[in-house]
Structure 1
Amino acid sequence: MRITRFQAGTLIVLAIIFLTFWPALNNGFVWNDSALAGSPVFYDFNLLWQVLSGQIRDPQFNLSPLSALLFYFENSFFGGRPFGFHLVSLTVHLLNTVLLIYLLFKIWPTEDNARLVTAQHLIALIYALHPALLEPVAYISAQPELFSAFFMLLSLVLLESGLKFNKFLAALFYLFSLLFSLYAVIFIFILPFWLKYRKKPVSLRTYLYFLFPLALSFVLYYLAVFRPPSVNASSVDIYSAATLISRTVLEYLSVLVFPFYALRPVHYLAPISDPLSIPALISYAVVIGLLTLFIRLKKVFPDGFWLAATVLFSFLPLLNIIPVTFPGGSIASERYLAFPLALAIIFITHVIFKLTDGHRLKKRVYLFYCFLLIWAVFSIRTVQSTLPKWKNDFALFEWASQKAPESYLPDLKLAENYLKIRQYQKAMRSAAEAQTLAPKNPATWRIKAEIYLARGDTQSAVLLLKEALKLSKDNSLTLTALGKALIQAKKYKEAIGYLNKALKLNPLSADIHILLAEGYFNLKQKKEAKAHLEAANRYATRTELRRLQNIKQRLGTK
């Protein structure tokens, strides 16, 4: 069987991607990955079904339907070992690259021309190796966005055929993408621009194929317990909104155009506080320049204008122009880049082929190859130097605190991790830095209080936690920490009051049930204590089960 240039090139591209990202397979769980791997919801299908069907309502559970099922099956198959999760992420990334290669060859048929085949494979390689895709590939919690991008790209591939049955399949796969991530809502907005670019009829019938799964997914989201996307109203005045949008555009532009050596997490960055500062003015100028370029594109590349509109609309949620916070991710996060970056690569390919007119590319092909190869080498270097820094929580947040020193989040997470290993001095130093950067954030007050509590200073912990509650009354973590501090202070009735409030906000927390059991037991209310111990036993993670056994022994229960 003879292997074509297309097949050989695709296999080489996949091999390079695998070798570049293989260090991710050795990484552990970072940030909230461990919650997905350790939660009892993803080990007990009956419990998962009760949460999905609304029999147990947990406001903290905000995963999309297929994401929840995905993590359940992964936990069942891999037993909570990170290698398997990372292997799934890398496999989906490889499949997304294959779909992009197929789209590139479908839009620009090369008839097995060696130079053009190589050019398109190199362009696809730029997408696959782009450092901006490190987060969706390396973070297990970002798997839903990878799967959502896969099904949206698959829908575009099926639309290329024009067959009626394929349209039905494309709509079905669009439903899957929506049930993985609500970011896929943007597909319905970019669809007419894509069809216009591909010179296909934008008919109501075609649109209805995709409106039905959109409506069905919304029914599933709203009838079940999933939190709907919410508007990010942190900045309500027009100046703050304009500053936020401009800053985000500038940051994403820098990450996408030149991510080498300066790769940093966009969603850690603190917004510009002064709308008339020099960084803000630079951001405005960049946005105005991009809009001017987009308007002029209609004259320069009339057929490419619709593709540019497709790319622009795919980025709108990420740029805070559509200010929606999606379940399972932050408002500005690289994890959502898998699909829009693929569209951007298609647009870049369109511009290159138009400028070179396909044939002139042959004359300049070696210069073009050199440019793409240099980019690929720098990308590989950046990816492989960054992945070891994401090996565990300590490495990740040390890296993040250096790359985004204006953000409180890395220092907060470092403080939490130092507290777990009882390095109180380092924990307090990180907590103080986080509180300096975000004095009005209750989490920074809470972590300092937890450090005082671990060192035995119950009085200081209670005072700090009550101050934190003034900043946010409905914060389950703060309420839980305050309940724990009051139990240590032997103020059991007051502790139970706060813990019951926390339980309403987070009913599946084994930690809250354990603390309530301890409080009721000390008040000689053994019936209530036993009920909470049973609930804790049901909802406990593997780590909490060991703690639960110690609590049972201490309370004298079986």
Structure 2
Amino acid sequence: EEFLPRSIGPHLFFWSLVFFFGIMPAGMLTENTTQPPLLFRKTAPYLFLIVLALLALYPVFTANFVWEDETVLGSPQLHSATGLADIWLKPGQSILLDYMPLTYTTHWVEYQLWGMKPLGYHVVNLLLHITNALLLLYLLRRISMPGALLIAALFAVHPMQVSSVAWIVQRKDLLYTFFYFLAFLAWMRFNEKQSWQRYLLVLVLFTLSMLSKRMAITFPVAAFIYSWWRDGLITKQRILQLLPCLLIAFPLAYIVNFTLSEPATPPLVVLSIPQKFILVGRNLFYYVGKLLWPSEHVPFYPPCSLNVRQPLLCLFPITVLAALLALWKFRRRIGRGPIAAAAFYIATLLPVLGVAYWCLMGRTYVQDHYQYVSSIAAFMLVGYGVSVFAPRLFCHADKCFAAALLLPLVLVAQQHTALYQDCETLFTPNFAKYPTVAPEIAHNLAVGLLRHKKLPQALYAADYAVRLKEDDAQHWQLKGDVLMELHQLKEARAAYEKGLQITPHDENLINNYASTYIFYGDSPNPESAIPLLLDALSRHPRDFRLNANLGFAYKVAGKKIEAAEYFGKAVALNPARCNPEILYQYGTLLIETGQAQKAIAPLRQACAQINDPRYVSALRQAETAPSK
């Protein structure tokens, strides 16, 4: 509870009760015997979903960047006009080695609008999630699915959906689902009345979904399952109609899986076929269990045992197969719905069940956000059951069951969303319960603690990450950063040097290591930093920090002309959102080297960002200096 913001408290629980037991019994979750105005009947369910999602996820408005958010948003491709072309045309240089150009294009647009302010990114994520819930409701009502509003409400507020919304880099889940649903709508319309225009729209929307995240590769199978559920037919024509989707999907999946992804890392990825058989079964049980009881939420869960010498572990996949066979055998008695839902659930999860390699498999087998789409199948079974069978018990039983389901889910979702306030709140519970699962847990916790200036705790967490994986340069860099804050200069340099032994050309490590000679110590030694920075710049000429630090190094060394040159290059790399201190340093050096008129523009930009007396004084000096 110490990680929850102050706004979450007893008053919120009270208003949630008022909301659920005041609105739901009014008939918003099921058909009502009275007939309100037509406009209200059409719009009220959608308005209800919007309010419900906001109630469950509102802590996201105060959330910050966590985990990989700043790595992605700090990528040079997002900061310049040419970067947009690189996002699309240079898959080999993809951010985080993941080719998702449409997702990164949305981040590029946002960076131009609000830079590194997290609120804008979180608002867009939340709006996308709400839009997906509204689209789902529309799709379900279009096929007259009983309990459609309850199904969409479960999708909107279930705690398993939180990480897709509150974690900014999971924009890919939200965006691919948006186009996935639109492609489904186009496929429905194509099935109703076939035309080449409608078919082309299916292919276009599916391609957009694939360009958002490669999990969309499951769409052809999901569309086939839907069509079979509707009419019970398996035809050659239908298979051929979906074949072009696979021809679009596999090249995009190949780019990521075989040309960009990091090589598989033992011991989690190198699995035998029997181990993968067990893993698929265990993962399915895990995901279904999390839907039923979503009390725990951490970024990294411990890997399960896959010991093939334990026969009981084979019961997981065998039970799954037996359940599927039973649903298939009794489909004429119970209908095609249950087997179609089970097939949809497994098919849309299959890429991350353990059959194929995915990016995080080297550290964990499961993550909550993987079933953002597949969870719909489980919600459909629940929504259908409550809508059809609950009214047989007593009057308004369906409404009571719906309220009993949604109220605790909303409250748990609020708590899970509140964990995304920062790295400290998100990773402290993970480190407390599963400290050895992945070094990223301790690493990200140290990042959060460092930002809050809890330096002894940050050093402990950074040390823990180093002990778990000594050959990772990022952990040594973080340890060096913490030691610098503790004013342990000698130890910090030793940590940076360890990191540089592992990755000698890492520009971030070089920047931090060089900074120890420029800014710190009783007697700065910029001559030691300048060769390092020049060497790094030869490989990364467009790196903002390298240029800026080289400017500082030359200034400390008394070489004003060279300092002005590199400060100018840094400003040119990010002119709209340049750090005001860099602008100030550039402006003052221009004045000192007799270029006062040229100094006016950067100094005005610095004053516009921060009303610092130094900036104002320098600007006046530049404006009043005689022109040369």
Post-superposition offset of 1:130? 0.6
Other structure's SS at 2:352 match: coil
Post-superposition offset of 1:379? 0.4
Other structure's SS at 2:351 match: coil
Distance 1:166 1:347, change over 3 A: farther
Q: Which runs of 5+ in 1 are unaligned?
A: 110-115
Q: 2:200 matched to which residue of 1?
A: 168
Q: What aligned pairs does 1:463-502 form with structure 2 within 5 A after superposition?
A: 463-469=494-500, 477-485=508-516, 490=525, 496-497=531-532, 500=535
Q: What aligned pairs does 1:219-230 form with structure 2 within 5 A after superposition?
A: 228-229=260-261
Deviates more, 1:192-201 or 1:124-133: 192-201
Q: 1:310 matched to which residue of 2?
A: 344
Other structure's SS at 1:321 match: coil
Deviates more, 1:425-434 or 1:230-239: 230-239
Q: What aligned pairs does 1:101-140 form with structure 2 within 5 A after superposition?
A: 101-108=137-144, 116=146, 119-140=147-168
Q: Could you say which structure has the larger radius of gyration?
A: 2
Cα RMSD (Å)? 4.3
Post-superposition offset of 1:495? 7.3
> Which of the numbers 579, 584, 587 marks the counterpart of 1:545?
579
Post-superposition offset of 1:240? 7.0
- Looking at structure 2, the residues matched to 41 and 184 of structure 1 have their Cα atoms a distance apart, in angstroms, of 24
Q: What aligned pairs does 1:371-520 form with structure 2 within 5 A after superposition?
A: 371-402=401-432, 404-406=434-436, 407-420=438-451, 422-469=453-500, 477-485=508-516, 490=525, 496-497=531-532, 500=535, 504=539, 508-517=542-551
8 Å CA contact 1:496–1:516 kept in 2: the answer is no
Post-superposition offset of 1:24? 2.0
Post-superposition offset of 1:142? 1.6
Post-superposition offset of 1:152? 0.5
Q: Which amino acid aligns with 1:376?
A: L
Q: Which runs of 5+ in 2 are unaligned?
A: 1-36, 594-598, 600-628
Q: What aligned pairs does 1:74-223 form with structure 2 within 5 A after superposition?
A: 74-78=110-114, 81-108=117-144, 116=146, 119-161=147-189, 162=191, 163=193, 164=195, 165-199=197-231, 201=235, 202-211=237-246, 213-214=248-249
8 Å CA contact 1:503–1:512 kept in 2: the answer is no
Q: Which amino acid aligns with 1:321?
A: V
Deviates more, 1:83-92 or 1:535-544: 535-544
- Looking at structure 2, the residues matched to 541 and 322 of structure 1 have their Cα atoms a distance apart, in angstroms, of 43
8 Å CA contact 2:176–2:208 kept in 1: the answer is yes
Distance 1:448 1:55, change over 3 A: closer
Q: Which amino acid aligns with 1:509?
A: D
Q: Which amino acid aligns with 1:144?
A: K
Q: Identity of paired residues, percent? A: 19
Other structure's SS at 1:316 match: helix
Distance 1:532 1:32, change over 3 A: farther
Other structure's SS at 1:160 match: helix
Q: 1:363 matched to which residue of 2?
A: 392
Instruction: State the Cα deviation string for residues 72-119 of structure 1 (Å, max 9, x = none).
Output: 33344456544433332222222212222233334445xxxxxx5xx3
Q: 1:264 matched to which residue of 2?
A: 297
Distance 1:215 1:346, change over 3 A: same
Matched, 1:319 2:353: yes
- Looking at structure 1, the residues matched to 88 and 472 of structure 2 have their Cα atoms a distance apart, in angstroms, of 31
Q: 2:22 matched to which residue of 1?
A: none
Deviates more, 1:489-498 or 1:431-440: 489-498
Deviates more, 1:436-445 or 1:182-191: 436-445
Post-superposition offset of 1:449? 2.3
Post-superposition offset of 1:59? 6.2
Other structure's SS at 1:67 match: helix
- Looking at structure 2, the residues matched to 214 and 380 of structure 1 have their Cα atoms a distance apart, in angstroms, of 36
Question: What count of residue pairs does the alignment treat as equivalent?
Answer: 533
Q: Which amino acid aligns with 1:138?
A: A
- Looking at structure 1, the residues matched to 116 and 95 of structure 2 have their Cα atoms a distance apart, in angstroms, of 24
Distance 1:59 1:12, change over 3 A: closer
Other structure's SS at 1:177 match: helix
Post-superposition offset of 1:251? 4.0
8 Å CA contact 1:153–1:339 kept in 2: the answer is no
Post-superposition offset of 1:381? 1.0
Post-superposition offset of 1:382? 0.4
8 Å CA contact 2:57–2:413 kept in 1: the answer is yes
- Looking at structure 2, the residues matched to 513 and 243 of structure 1 have their Cα atoms a distance apart, in angstroms, of 52
- Looking at structure 1, the residues matched to 313 and 514 of structure 2 have their Cα atoms a distance apart, in angstroms, of 45
Deviates more, 1:481-490 or 1:85-94: 481-490
8 Å CA contact 1:123–1:372 kept in 2: the answer is no
Deviates more, 1:514-523 or 1:120-129: 514-523
- Looking at structure 2, the residues matched to 276 and 23 of structure 1 have their Cα atoms a distance apart, in angstroms, of 41
- Looking at structure 2, the residues matched to 53 and 554 of structure 1 have their Cα atoms a distance apart, in angstroms, of 38
Distance 1:47 1:471, change over 3 A: closer
- Looking at structure 1, the residues matched to 200 and 581 of structure 2 have their Cα atoms a distance apart, in angstroms, of 51
Post-superposition offset of 1:6? 5.6
**TM-score, normalisation: structure 2:** 0.71
Post-superposition offset of 1:174? 1.0
Matched, 1:48 2:84: yes
- Looking at structure 1, the residues matched to 129 and 450 of structure 2 have their Cα atoms a distance apart, in angstroms, of 35
**TM-score, normalisation: structure 1:** 0.79
Post-superposition offset of 1:388? 2.7
Distance 1:550 1:78, change over 3 A: closer
Instruction: State the Cα deviation string for residues 470-515 of structure 1 (Å, max 9, x = none).
Output: 55667554454445456668485687458746974x6653223334
- Looking at structure 2, the residues matched to 205 and 41 of structure 1 have their Cα atoms a distance apart, in angstroms, of 39
Distance 1:455 1:87, change over 3 A: closer
Distance 1:323 1:216, change over 3 A: closer
Post-superposition offset of 1:155? 1.2
- Looking at structure 1, the residues matched to 131 and 420 of structure 2 have their Cα atoms a distance apart, in angstroms, of 23
- Looking at structure 1, the residues matched to 538 and 364 of structure 2 have their Cα atoms a distance apart, in angstroms, of 24
Distance 1:13 1:524, change over 3 A: closer
Q: 1:112 matched to which residue of 2?
A: none
Other structure's SS at 1:268 match: coil
8 Å CA contact 2:517–2:526 kept in 1: the answer is yes
Instruction: State the Cα deviation string for residues 133-152 of structure 1 (Å, max 9, x = none).
Output: 01112222222220110111
- Looking at structure 2, the residues matched to 284 and 509 of structure 1 have their Cα atoms a distance apart, in angstroms, of 52
Post-superposition offset of 1:37? 5.6
- Looking at structure 2, the residues matched to 189 and 512 of structure 1 have their Cα atoms a distance apart, in angstroms, of 48
Other structure's SS at 1:269 match: coil
